[in-house]
Structure 1
Amino acid sequence: MKKPLRLLVFDCDGVLFDSRLANKEYYNSILKATGRSPLTEEELEYVHMHSLPECIEFLFRRHPDLKDLAFEIAKKTPYSDFFVYMQMEPGLPEFLEWAYSRVKIALCTNRTTSTLPLLRHFDLEKYFHLIRTALEIPKNDPRALSSILEHFRCSPSNTLYVGDSAVDERLCLACSVPLVSYKNPALKAIKVLKNYEDLKIFLQENFSL
């Protein structure tokens, strides 16, 4: 018997977009301006999952004297300059077009001021019924997700979260929301997806929409 599904919640980086190179270029530009060395692999992994304030704190944990300067540089460095390095996941607009009239669609991201410009740049804003960014609640706080459920008056059992990181995994666990992993088999998820056609088939076969 198929389960009812009312709400799909998406992470942004690594799920809607391959943004690894964009994040690398963005944060390296900040590091260069402060005189710090480029990102290590560990740091690149971190900035791919966390909010800007968390990233600055982490990147300058050994250089606290440069932290204020880094925040100032970040404020003056528009992330839109790095959209050229972003790659939208294949089949994403087609999937969102199909899903929009069937379920509520929300975004839960650790991005801050770059979120709306990014969605508008790729003409995706129109597909999201609600957008929750780290400006409101960062994803290390379970309320980032629980507040979305409250907004739609939706239970965790009628919700799916599509994410790709340990941050997403912890968030879903804290809110008892089933996680669908996007291209990351290391996560504890009910399904690991290869692409958006995979997600569409999974929903059609297992849920009433």
Structure 2
Amino acid sequence: MNGTLFPHGLAGVIFDCDGVMINSRAANDEFYNRVLAYFGLPPMTPEQEAYSFMATAGQALRHILPERLHGEIDRVTRDEINYQRDILPLLRLMPGFREFADELSARGVRMAIATNRTEQGMQRVLDFFALPSYFDPVVTASNSTPKPSPEGARRICADWGARPSDVLFVGDSAHDKQAAEAAGVTFAAFNGGELEGQIVASDFAALGRALVPVLARSR
């Protein structure tokens, strides 16, 4: 980690949800492929899978479905796909996430979420995993412009009264990185392959090690 990061200490950490807090790749693919199958269409291509993982559900469905079917999206996702029964159980909490969040909380570091999920979708995740109420605010596609817009990250910093340079954004996509950079927030590229950031961490153990110097100052 660059020694000049967080010279005033770490004020807070913003987490993306999918690919950071939770492993939802299998769940996402199952959901979108069920919608495609309902219309008699083939499964997603690799390009569509990559796009759908970063986008909002509405953006993804408009991307993978022919325009003639766009008017059916709300009905099908409401009445034909049982997300609670068939998709939610496929989600997995990222190894080490709960312990990492507990450590930050114990040190008085604020936490927030910036996700392209809807408010309802994000609440389902929090409830399903019975996650503690560490995350405030929770910024979603329902109450903010979706990433790569920096609106959510800027709003979180403002709510905290924190300098953007004192805040860390943990994300795994180009949209996360663009949002963080535009907001002036330090970006940690998490589990993102070739994705670069001021911090690069393959998992939460690695991210914890990278933050040891700054967390030590939070004692």
Work out whether the TM-score is over 0.5: yes
Q: Which amino acid aligns with 1:114?
A: G
Q: 2:12 aligns with which of 4, 7, 13?
A: 7
Q: 1:105 aligns with which of 106, 111, 129?
A: 111
Aligned to 1:120: 127
Matched residues in 2 for 1:109 and 1:125: separation?
17
The secondary structure found in structure 1 opposite 2:133 is: helix
* Correspondence list, 1:180-191, <5 A: 180-191=188-199
Matched residues in 2 for 1:190 and 1:203: separation?
12
Q: 1:23 aligns with which of 25, 28, 33?
A: 28
Q: Which amino acid aligns with 1:75?
A: R
Is residue 79–residue 114 contact of structure 1 (8 Å, CA) maintained in 2?
A: no
Aligned to 1:66: 69
Matched residues in 2 for 1:68 and 1:111: separation?
20
Is residue 10–residue 214 contact of structure 2 (8 Å, CA) maintained in 1?
A: no
Extract unaligned runs of 5+ from structure 1: none
Matched residues in 2 for 1:79 and 1:143: separation?
28
Q: CA deviation at 1:78?
A: 4.4
Q: CA deviation at 1:11?
A: 0.3
- 1:6-55 CA-to-partner distances (Å, cap 9, x unmatched) read 11000010111111100000111111112222111110111111101111
Q: CA deviation at 1:140?
A: 3.1
Extract unaligned runs of 5+ from structure 2: none
Is residue 180–residue 191 contact of structure 1 (8 Å, CA) maintained in 2?
A: yes
Matched residues in 1 for 2:202 and 2:168: separation?
16
Q: CA deviation at 1:70?
A: 2.2
In structure 2, the CA distance between the partners of 1:33 and 1:58, relative to structure 1 (3 Å rule), is same
Is residue 149–residue 178 contact of structure 2 (8 Å, CA) maintained in 1?
A: no
Matched residues in 1 for 2:77 and 2:27: separation?
14
Is residue 5–residue 159 contact of structure 1 (8 Å, CA) maintained in 2?
A: yes
Q: Which amino acid aligns with 2:77?
A: A
The secondary structure found in structure 2 opposite 1:151 is: helix
Q: CA deviation at 1:201?
A: 2.1
Aligned to 1:202: 210
Q: CA deviation at 1:106?
A: 0.2
Matched residues in 2 for 1:15 and 1:133: separation?
15
Q: CA deviation at 1:141?
A: 2.3
* Correspondence list, 1:46-57, <5 A: 46-57=51-62
- 1:128-172 CA-to-partner distances (Å, cap 9, x unmatched) read 122111111111322121111111111111100000001111111
Name the count of aligned residue pairs. Answer: 207
Matched residues in 1 for 2:117 and 2:43: separation?
21
* Correspondence list, 1:165-176, <5 A: 165-176=173-184
Is residue 106–residue 129 contact of structure 1 (8 Å, CA) maintained in 2?
A: yes
Q: CA deviation at 1:127?
A: 2.3
Are 1:163 and 2:148 counterparts?
no
The secondary structure found in structure 2 opposite 1:12 is: coil
Identity fraction in percent = 29
CA-based RMSD of the aligned residues comes to 1.6
Stretch moving more, 129-138 or 198-207: 198-207
